[in-house]
Every structure is written in C-alpha cells, then in structure tokens.
C-alpha cells in the first residue's frame, strides 16, 4: 500500500522516477498480476493492472497506469489526494475450472481464439451470481455467445485473489475475505439487533416508491438503484409490508398501493386459474 501511495506522490511531484529502494529484493521473481483501483469519497476514480518481475514494482506500475484512466469522468487530481482511497488485488496461479472454485475467493477468466473475459471476486458477491450465471455473463463480456462456456474450444480458468484496501471508514488497511470484513469478536447484543432491524424496516419503507415498487440493490458508488427487477424479492417485500400493516394503520395505504402494483404487473388469469 505504501508503494501505491508513493507512486501517486511521485506522479504529482513530477519526479518521473521511482526509488528503486521501494522494490525490495524479497519481492523479486514474484511476477503476479496486480490490480489497483482508486476511490474518491466512495466513487470509482480509475483502475489498472500491471505485471512486473517484482511484486512492488507491479503495484507501482499499476498505480501510475490508473492515474491515466479517464473512464470515470477524468482521472484524479491533486485536489483529490486528501480523499484518495486505494484498493489492491493480487492474483494467484490459474487453474482449469473444476469443483474447487469458491465464490468470493476466486476470480474467473475465459479465453477463446483471441477473445478474453475476466471477472474478479467482487462480481459474484455483489451480484449474488452462481457459477452458471457468472459463466454466461463472462461469455457475453468476452463478446461471445452466452453459452460459449459449453464449447470445448473455450478455456475457463479460476484463480485466488488477495484483496485489501484503505477505506472511508478507517485509515487502517482493511483485508477482505469473500469481499467482506470478518469480525471474529462481534460486539452484538439484543438491543443492537433490534436497532438494526428497526433501521432495516425504516429503509424498506423509505424505498417504496410512489408506484408501489420496492427499490432494491442500491449502488453507493453511483448513488442509484439498478433498473432490473426481481419478482421474488418484490413479493417477499410485499409480504413483509402486509404483516407490518396489521400493526400500523398508516401502512395500510402503502400496502394497498403495493398490491395494486403487483396485481397490475405480475398477476394474470387463465380460465379459473390465477398466476
């Protein structure tokens, strides 16, 4: 992490050269692919990968390349440095996909005659995708048919990823496991659980829109909800609202609006049967 921040300091100081003492001998011959991602106040602000014959040098090169990334409304500026947080992923050895692939532990790579697609560990967790859905989407990301993973000419690999970052919540480096932070001694009691449930209920009610649809899968980095829908989640949310409306008359009107939405969009009759 120190090397990544030093690369940024060197870039903005205009030194144009790296201090070779950064690239310690113990990192020699560790030619792992390294991913560097930048965030400013939680928003993505550039990313890149690099592979050198020294792990620290790979970090340094990837950080410099990420500074040139213009995909997120321009690269970071010197004024952004006080809010800059850095994410680092180090890739392990690839293996042909088999039963030992683990969601959130491994990334995936697919290749076929020049076409290539990669998914890091975060995709499976953030989208809650199983392996078959991941493979279909990976095929599409590579510009191939969604069922290309069934083709014997397509090679699919998986690889472990070490994932750590500085975050807006702490100046300390946070290490992620399955894209989450593990607390082995959680300070949890009945009061905190009830507070958490009350906050969740409040969030649910605030995210029922005027048409009766529950918004879900909020993306903090873009400050928006995805447009895709999921009937099962909507129906379970509706069931929850029905139970709550028994206790609170104010919620009955919200429940009615929600039911109207469901019946308009997802209910149909065929003879004597309703679906």
Instruction: Summarize pLDDT for 190-227 with one digit per residue, the tens.
Output: 999 999 999 988 888 888 888 788 887 777 767 777 76
Q: What per-residue confidence (pLDDT) applies to 17?
A: 67
95-160: which CATH topology? Dna Ligase; domain 1 (3.30.1490)
For the chain, give the mean pLDDT: 88
pLDDT at 87 over 90: yes
Q: For the chain, give every domain's residue range.
A: 2-91, 95-160, 190-274
Instruction: Summarize pLDDT for 236-261 with one digit per residue, the tens.
Output: 888 999 998 888 888 888 889 888 98
Among the residue ranges 179-188, 205-214, 229-238, the one predicted with the least confidence is 179-188
CA 108 to CA 92: how far, in whole Å? Answer: 11
What's the half-sphere exposure (Cβ side, CA atoms, 13 Å) at 42? 7
Residue range 145-173: mean pLDDT, rounded: 91
Q: What per-residue confidence (pLDDT) applies to 202?
A: 87
What's the half-sphere exposure (Cβ side, CA atoms, 13 Å) at 114? 0
Residue range 158-163: mean pLDDT, rounded: 96
Residue range 153-173: mean pLDDT, rounded: 90
Hey, which of 82-96, 127-141, 260-274 has the most confident mean pLDDT? Answer: 82-96
Give percent of the chain above pLDDT 70.
Answer: 97
Burial of 87 (C-beta count, 10 Å sphere; 0-12/13-18/19+)? buried
Q: What per-residue confidence (pLDDT) applies to 16?
A: 61
Instruction: Summarize pLDDT for 90-132 with one digit per residue, the tens.
Output: 999 999 999 999 999 999 999 988 888 899 998 888 888 889 9
2-91: which CATH topology? Glycoprotein, Type 4 Pilin (3.30.700)
Instruction: Summarize pLDDT for 40-79 with one digit per residue, the tens.
Output: 988 899 999 999 999 999 999 999 999 999 999 888 999 9
pTM: 0.66
């Amino acid at each position: 992490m120190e090397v990544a921040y030093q690369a940024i300091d060197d870039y903005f100081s205009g030194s144009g050269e790296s201090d070779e003492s950064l690239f310690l001998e113990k990192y020699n011959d560790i030619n792992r692919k390294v991913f560097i991602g930048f965030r400013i106040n939680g928003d993505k602000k550039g990313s890149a990968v690099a592979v050198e014959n020294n792990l620290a040098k790979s970090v340094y090169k990837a950080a410099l390349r990420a500074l040139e990334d213009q995909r997120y409304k321009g690269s970071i500026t010197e004024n952004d440095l006080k809010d800059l947080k850095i994410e680092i992923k180090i890739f392990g050895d690839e293996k042909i996909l088999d039963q030992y692939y683990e969601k959130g532990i491994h990334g995936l790579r697919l290749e076929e005659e020049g076409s290539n697609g990669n998914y890091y560990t975060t995709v499976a967790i953030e989208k809650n995708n199983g392996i078959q859905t991941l493979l279909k989407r990976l095929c599409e990301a590579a510009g191939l048919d969604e069922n290309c993973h069934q083709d014997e000419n397509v090679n699919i690999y998986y690889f472990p990823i070490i994932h750590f970052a500085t975050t807006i919540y702490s100046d300390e480096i946070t290490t992620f496991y399955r894209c989450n932070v593990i607390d082995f001694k959680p300070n949890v009691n009945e009061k905190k659980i009830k507070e958490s449930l009350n906050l969740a209920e409040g969030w649910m009610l605030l995210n029922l829109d005027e048409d009766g649809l529950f918004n879900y899968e909020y993306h903090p980095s873009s400050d928006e909800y995805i447009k895709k829908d999921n009937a099962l989640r909507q129906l379970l949310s509706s069931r929850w609202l029905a139970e709550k409306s028994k206790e609170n008359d104010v919620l009955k009107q919200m429940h009615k609006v929600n039911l109207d939405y469901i019946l308009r969009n997802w209910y149909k009759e065929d003879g004597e049967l309703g679906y």
